[in-house]
Structures are given as C-alpha cells and as structure tokens.
C-alpha cells in the first residue's frame, strides 16, 4: 500500500494564534508603521530584510516551509511567537494569512524579514481575531519539500543494507526502541523521484501519517525498523524495494522520513 493513501491534514493554518506564549518579546521600534526603506508591494504589503539569507531559491505558493516567527499588533503587543515557545512551525505557504504567504515568497533560506501586513491581507476584520495591521518577524529556516541536492544517488557516506536500501541519518532521535514489521507508526515524510520531482508529502497535507509497517512498500518496511522515535532519515529505495516497475512512480525513490511515534 502506498503511504500517500494513509494521510489526513496537519495544520489548517500555519499561524493559529490560539494561545499567548509564555514570555513576551519586545516589539521593534518601527512596529507602528513601516520605515521609508521598507519594500512595498502592489498589494500593500511592506517588508524589510533584517538578516540576509544564505539560500538562492524562493518558496513557491504551494511549497512547505519551516519558519520561526513573532507577531505584534501595531500598538506593540505581542500575541503569538514560535520563538517564545521554542519550536519552529512547518506549514504550506498557501495555508497562512495572505500577507504572510506573499512575504514568504520573497524570502530565501536563512533570511529574517520583517513584514507589515495590512488588515486587508490579514484577518480582514474577522471577529475574535486581531484587528488592524500586523507586524511579523519571520526567519525561514528550511523548505523541506524541496528536493535535496543528493536526490539523484546516495552519497558516499550513506549506509547500505544487503537488500540495496541506502540511508543517512539527518537528525538523531531521542528514542531507543525500533519499530517491528508488525507495528503501526506515525511519521512525517516527503518523497521524490530521482529527477527531483516531489510526488508525495504528508507535510503538504497537514498531518502526520499513521500506518502499519507490513502494508507499505518493502523499502519502507525495512528502513523504518532501523529508526528510533524522533529520528529523521533519508532513504534511497531502489525500484525492486519500491513499486517494482508495476505502477508509478517508477525507478529509485528518495524519502525523508521523521518517526514521530510507535503505536
């Protein structure tokens, strides 16, 4: 069974503003209005680069991004911050406020940008939501659905199993237990073909996927048993451990997989 059929939705909106974070971050001195050197777009969005990025590519409107942010109302009151909570968020660009989505498409990885988002590009007077202009400081740290540079073939430091599966740990996990082939697991994942085309991602749909390991492609069944909770691994799965040429996507497949939980 293909993992794509086992998914539901992660975040409906990147910035929910559901709770007040534990400690306030002071508002910038220009929170009340964009300065004269801010970049203004035709829509009314104003932005200014605070820290230049190291990347070259801008997120697309349907792309997934990982960001840290703090947001204030124009009177300097902070009402939400991933920075204060100590955890970045990952969400699709097209699922956030219109002004935030427009601003994100101007950014590159590593960049921090301040955005002055007029009410017409924010909550538009929606009851129970912050009124007026919003000011965001946003740092773009990753575009996790963008194909990695080693998508064409496993690098020399990748580990290989007897079956032909290649893998590389991207982020170590804190867990010690490995899932068994009969276990059910919850994961986030993105899959690409070797030409860099993304064909599936739980991130774009908004919720981790949960499935039994004996009902996925053989490369997943084998590879997931090497992981521990909290770990993120890149797998290069040859065609004979994927769909065996019987259905698309054909050829070797590359997956980034984060193991969230073992049921």
Chain centre to alpha carbon of residue 118? 25
At 116, is the secondary structure helix, strand, or coil?
strand
Length of the chain: 263
The catalytic position among 69, 255, 256, 262 is 255
Place of tokens 């490369």: 219
**Quick check: is 123 catalytic?**
no
The catalytic position among 9, 75, 199, 214 is 199
At 213, is the secondary structure helix, strand, or coil?
helix
**Quick check: is 189 catalytic?**
yes
The catalytic position among 7, 117, 217, 237 is 217
The catalytic position among 189, 211, 237, 256 is 189
**Quick check: is 200 catalytic?**
yes
End-to-end CA distance of the chain: 19
Q: Report CA dihedral (74, 79, 80, 83) to the nearest 10 degrees.
A: 80
The catalytic position among 200, 211, 237, 256 is 200
The catalytic position among 80, 136, 243, 262 is 243
Measuring CA to CA, which residue among 19, 14, 130 is closest to residue 85?
19
**Quick check: is 69 catalytic?**
no
**Quick check: is 255 catalytic?**
yes
- Which positions are annotated as active-site residues? 189, 199-200, 217, 243, 255
């Amino acid at each position: 069974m293909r993992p794509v059929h086992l998914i539901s939705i992660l975040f409906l909106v990147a910035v929910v503003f559901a709770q007040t974070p534990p400690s306030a971050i002071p508002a910038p001195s220009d929170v009340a209005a964009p300065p004269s050197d801010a970049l203004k777009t035709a829509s009314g969005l104003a932005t200014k680069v605070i820290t230049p990025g190291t990347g070259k590519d801008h997120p697309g409107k349907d792309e997934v991004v990982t960001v840290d942010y703090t947001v204030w109302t124009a009177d300097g009151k902070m009402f939400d911050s991933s920075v204060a909570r100590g955890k970045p968020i990952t969400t699709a660009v097209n699922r956030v406020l219109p002004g935030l989505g427009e601003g994100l498409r101007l950014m590159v990885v590593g960049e921090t940008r301040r955005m002055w988002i007029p009410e017409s590009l924010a909550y538009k007077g929606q009851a129970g939501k912050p009124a007026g202009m919003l000011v965001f400081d946003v740092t773009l740290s990753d575009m996790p659905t963008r194909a990695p540079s080693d998508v064409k073939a496993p690098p020399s430091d990748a580990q290989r199993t007897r079956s032909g599966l290649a893998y590389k740990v991207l982020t170590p996990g804190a867990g010690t237990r490995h899932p068994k082939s009969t276990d059910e697991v919850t994961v986030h994942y993105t899959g690409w073909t070797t030409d860099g085309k993304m064909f599936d991602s739980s991130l774009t749909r908004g919720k981790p996927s949960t499935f039994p390991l004996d009902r996925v492609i053989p490369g997943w069944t084998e590879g997931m048993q090497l992981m521990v909770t909290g770990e993120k691994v890149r797998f290069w799965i040859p065609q004979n451990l994927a769909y065996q040429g019987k259905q698309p996507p054909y050829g070797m497949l590359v997956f980034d997989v984060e193991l969230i939980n073992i049921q």
